[in-house]
Structure 1
Amino acid sequence: MQEWVAGAASLVEWLIAWLQVFWPAIVATAGVVAAVWVTLHVAQHKRDARAAAAWTGLVWLVPLVGALLYLLLGVNRIQRRARQLTGGGAIDAALSAGRDQGTPLQSDRLRVLARLVGRLTGLPLTGGNRVTLLEAGPALAAMIQAVDQARDSVLLATYIFGNDAAGKPLAEALERAVARGVTVRVLVDGVGALYSLPPITLRLRRRGVRVERFLHSIAPWRMPYLNLRNHRKLMVVDRCIGFTGGMNIRAGYLREPAHMQDLHARVEGPAVVHLLRSFVADWAFTCGETLDDNYLGALEAGDTLARGINAGPDADFDKRRLTLLAAIGAAEHEVRIVTPYFVPDQTLLASLQLALLKGVRVNIVVPQKNNLRLVQWASLHALRWLVREGAELHFSAPPFDHTKLMTVDGHWVLLGSGNWDARSLRLNFEFDMECYDDPLAEQANDLIDRRLRGARRVGEAEFRAMGRWRHARNALAHLFEPYL
């Protein structure tokens, strides 16, 4: 035994001595091999030439560390998971049902846009809808009331469900619904659930509410970094009434004074089926349970033409970005954008510049003080060029405005969970709704006007007055645009 131990010790000493002599060559060889592998992988799998060039430069300039970062952040696991997320042939068929049907527009305006988005999404433009815009506080109250009136089912998906003054009343309503025999299913994003500790999911489970966490695992090697988040905000009650928009369930909206503003919408009519089937697909992917996705609501609830737009990596890849490009291209008079995070890619920036050259008025409203400082700096770099081209930029005063809203020519409205950044355009799962309706667009523009009354106009002179170090800071932050 002693001889075996002595032999093992000698072998270890020899290995250490050998490594001390040859470790530079080993590390250099490993670095070159890793860099070559990453370069080949990037060349074959990256569609964005800028991202490909950035990753290639990183792995050669920072050997091994760059390869490790690429393995953790750059390898596209998204496509495999997104294919699973479609939920199988039955749900895919349901989501594309009626692609050649739909209500034709009564106006020639934006007819091409409606046809394009229909082909892009494979979903019909449904008529007979009523869409009611709600600020965050009234929206939460309306959702709680709808849950208390539920008789069949409540399906809720959200990114953040706070265990706070906003989340607890809704949780209590869900618990009361379960006690009445209502089928309740709650889907919270795996990362978003961690915004409150202890998470609301523990309370819901203890009270008998079925709740799941989207793409969550306590094993670090199974938890998908910070991408592939389910950023959708959906609630469908009794398979006939829907709620969607940008509002998370957080107490910041309810405090006095409020810390945040936001926008949600109550939806009645056939478009609710798009919300319903989006939830059913996400739920089936998360836990394997197939829910009833048959719509039970009215066919004629209002006069709004509406369509849901699912966006996400792979299965619904680029649908949101292409919709935005098409809407900007279709504009003849005015584009109005309200968003908390404005870091568009080069194609979206170019489309807005073309709209300005065409004589379209472009109005952009972003928060004066963002809750994500790096995003704000990158946003200022992009906005600088748009303001120079003639865009009207406004900084909305506190509280922080989380609203996501867009209107075109006083007729078309886009609302939902998506932001104007790479995360929403390429990495997260989002749900937006496009609506064709003059009265609804007027209501949306009135809401934007209210934001503008408390906002500050920012012109080119203010950008010129910024110190050089601020411009440099903003430009450096904008280098991270593909990952913000």
Structure 2
Amino acid sequence: MQEHLIHLRALLQDYWPHLALGLSVVLGVSAAIHAAMTKNDVRAAISWVGVIVMSPLLGPFLYLIAGINRVRRQNLLEHGAEVFREQASYLYPPVSDVGPLAGPQFRSLQILGDRVSRSQLRNGNNVQVLDGGDQAYPAMLQAIREARSTIALQSYIFDSDRLGREFVQALAQAHQRGVQIRVLVDAIGAKYSRVPVVRLLRREGIRCALFMTNPLGFMRMPYANLRSHRKLLIVDGAIGFTGGMNLRESFMAQYTDGHPSRDTHFRLEGPVVVQLAASFAHDWQFTTREALPHSQWCADNWQAPKPHVPARCICTGPDRFMASTHHMLLGAFAVAQRHIRIQSPYFLPDQILLGALNTAARRGIQVDIVIPGQNNLRLVNYAMTAQLDQVLRAGCRVWRASGPFNHSKLITIDGAWSYVGSSNLDPRSLRLNFELDVEIYSRETARHIQNLIDKEIEDAQAVSLESLGAIPFGKRLRNRLIWLASPYL
């Protein structure tokens, strides 16, 4: 036995370069074939094949970790979510024609939404715009404190700071009243706090879970490339909150000496809340295998106060609904007749969306794009700057907002259609993250949102080709190099 071990060790010492070469070839070829056969985006396929070929052993390992979509949602989960989603919506039948409400050009957009969304467009919804944390967080806390039966809370980031502890306390008091509570936090977003909020929640006996904690099974690490970016609060199955706001004290004036970061959130009532609850139930069952029964988590009577507006949820993620938001935005930009307003903290659309915006501008549509003057992600800001000339040359107007960082994700078309929620216009939101947005056919809501955007434009600095050209060459080169990596930011 000892002789065999000595002989094997000698063989390894003599032939390990050949064995390493053979292993790298097998792994590289296998990974490259998998990327070529499974990636629908040619740029993604070429990028991954390049990484695999240029890094013989490291490349296949990186592809194994970050390149393979392991999210396979069971048909049972999908079916359960559909039943949950539409069970109580019979009170308001699907909207047959949005033309009289928004304009005839939106009829084709409604058909597109019917085909790419899991949810039907239904009337009977009330939408309240909440401008900033000083409006959103008190409204959310009030709903939690008045909860009678259930609370479902989902967030990408739920900090354990002073605001986060206020939410934990409100949830703990509701739990003591006998309210059923489920809290779902993304595994990556939970790491923004040194003391994870789930530790505080579990200490209070509140059911909580981390989304995508260990999808690889054999590796004790989060799968950082797929994240739940959704922000949801559903109380008693009747009141819903969604939008762009995480739970962080930096968005409250009282915790920032009167200079909070900005964001926009929405309070919803009506059939769309059933769709919000269905999205949460789907993600919760996917994460914990616990099914949330519709009879307990949706209200029996959820008549919304007037005005009533048509709305629906658009859920996206790296599953069979990956391109839903991408399709919706392409359709919206195509039907615009007067004005497109976009506010996004991370504006890095792909070439297809850039083409749609540029085509709209060349058709004579006024396209206004508002981005932060001071961004919280420096690399993303560099990449955005490198790409702005592509929309400016087509006639789009780009504005860098002044004041505190604004995290809002808002789009309006012709003052009649709005698209709001958690999605950014960047590769991560459009292809990797699990996102939730709401399309709203309402002139009143669109007017409110466009006023928020126009207010930002009033004090903003216009970006021009001349101002971009005045940036020193070294910084322009830096921006361009970082832009090349934008799909991975």
TM over 0.5, shorter chain: yes
- The residue identity in structure 2 corresponding to 1:322 is H
User: Does 2:113 align with 1:117?
Assistant: yes
Q: Deviations over 1:258-312 (max 9, x none)?
A: 3411110111122111111111111122222222333431056423211111111
Quickly say closer, same or farther: Cα 1:303–1:361, change in 2 above 3 A.
same
Q: Please name the residue that 2:449 is paired with.
A: 444
Aligned residue pairs, count: 474
Tell me, in whole angstroms, the C-alpha distance in 1 between the residues paired with 2:110 and 2:388: 28
The 5-angstrom pairing of residues 44-443 of structure 1 reads 44-78=37-71, 80=72, 83-84=73-74, 87-95=77-85, 101-102=94-95, 104-105=97-98, 106=100, 107-134=103-130, 135-217=132-214, 221=219, 223-254=221-252, 255-293=256-294, 294-295=298-299, 296-298=301-303, 301-443=306-448
Tell me, in whole angstroms, the C-alpha distance in 1 between the residues paired with 2:8 and 2:275: 63
List gaps (5 residues or longer) in structure 1.
none
- The residue identity in structure 2 corresponding to 1:304 is V
Among candidates 17, 22, 25, match of residue 24 of structure 1: 17
Tell me, in whole angstroms, the C-alpha distance in 2 between the residues paired with 1:325 and 1:159: 26
Tell me, in whole angstroms, the C-alpha distance in 2 between the residues paired with 1:56 and 1:298: 53
TM-score under structure 2 length normalisation: 0.92
Displacement of 1:453 in angstroms is: 2.6
Tell me, in whole angstroms, the C-alpha distance in 1 between the residues paired with 2:325 and 2:222: 22
- Please tell me whether the aligned partners of residues 189 and 230 of structure 1 are also in contact (alpha carbons under 8 angstroms): yes
Displacement of 1:18 in angstroms is: 3.6
Classify the secondary structure of the residue corresponding to 2:271: coil
Tell me, in whole angstroms, the C-alpha distance in 2 between the residues paired with 1:15 and 1:363: 69
- Please tell me whether the aligned partners of residues 85 and 281 of structure 1 are also in contact (alpha carbons under 8 angstroms): no
Tell me, in whole angstroms, the C-alpha distance in 2 between the residues paired with 1:392 and 1:68: 43
Classify the secondary structure of the residue corresponding to 2:418: strand
Tell me, in whole angstroms, the C-alpha distance in 1 between the residues paired with 2:323 and 2:332: 14
Q: Percent identity?
A: 40
Displacement of 1:339 in angstroms is: 0.8
Classify the secondary structure of the residue corresponding to 2:69: coil
Q: Which moved more, 1:166-175 or 1:291-300?
A: 291-300
Tell me, in whole angstroms, the C-alpha distance in 2 between the residues paired with 1:44 and 1:243: 40
- Please tell me whether the aligned partners of residues 268 and 301 of structure 1 are also in contact (alpha carbons under 8 angstroms): no
Tell me, in whole angstroms, the C-alpha distance in 2 between the residues paired with 1:420 and 1:475: 18
- The residue identity in structure 2 corresponding to 1:247 is M
Q: Which moved more, 1:329-338 or 1:469-478?
A: 469-478
- Please tell me whether the aligned partners of residues 86 and 315 of structure 1 are also in contact (alpha carbons under 8 angstroms): no
Classify the secondary structure of the residue corresponding to 1:166: helix
Tell me, in whole angstroms, the C-alpha distance in 2 between the residues paired with 1:129 and 1:103: 16
- The residue identity in structure 2 corresponding to 1:261 is R
Classify the secondary structure of the residue corresponding to 1:261: coil
- Please tell me whether the aligned partners of residues 311 and 318 of structure 1 are also in contact (alpha carbons under 8 angstroms): yes
Tell me, in whole angstroms, the C-alpha distance in 1 between the residues paired with 2:261 and 2:337: 33
Q: Which moved more, 1:470-479 or 1:269-278?
A: 470-479
Displacement of 1:225 in angstroms is: 2.3
- Please tell me whether the aligned partners of residues 130 and 301 of structure 1 are also in contact (alpha carbons under 8 angstroms): yes
Q: Which runs of 4+ in 1 moved over 4 A?
A: 14-17, 96-100
- The residue identity in structure 2 corresponding to 1:307 is R
TM-score under structure 1 length normalisation: 0.92
List gaps (5 residues or longer) in structure 2.
none
User: Does 2:477 align with 1:479?
Assistant: no
- The residue identity in structure 2 corresponding to 1:278 is S
Displacement of 1:435 in angstroms is: 0.6
- Please tell me whether the aligned partners of residues 215 and 223 of structure 1 are also in contact (alpha carbons under 8 angstroms): no
Tell me, in whole angstroms, the C-alpha distance in 2 between the residues paired with 1:43 and 1:211: 38
Displacement of 1:86 in angstroms is: 7.2
Tell me, in whole angstroms, the C-alpha distance in 2 between the residues paired with 1:115 and 1:160: 34
Displacement of 1:318 in angstroms is: 0.6
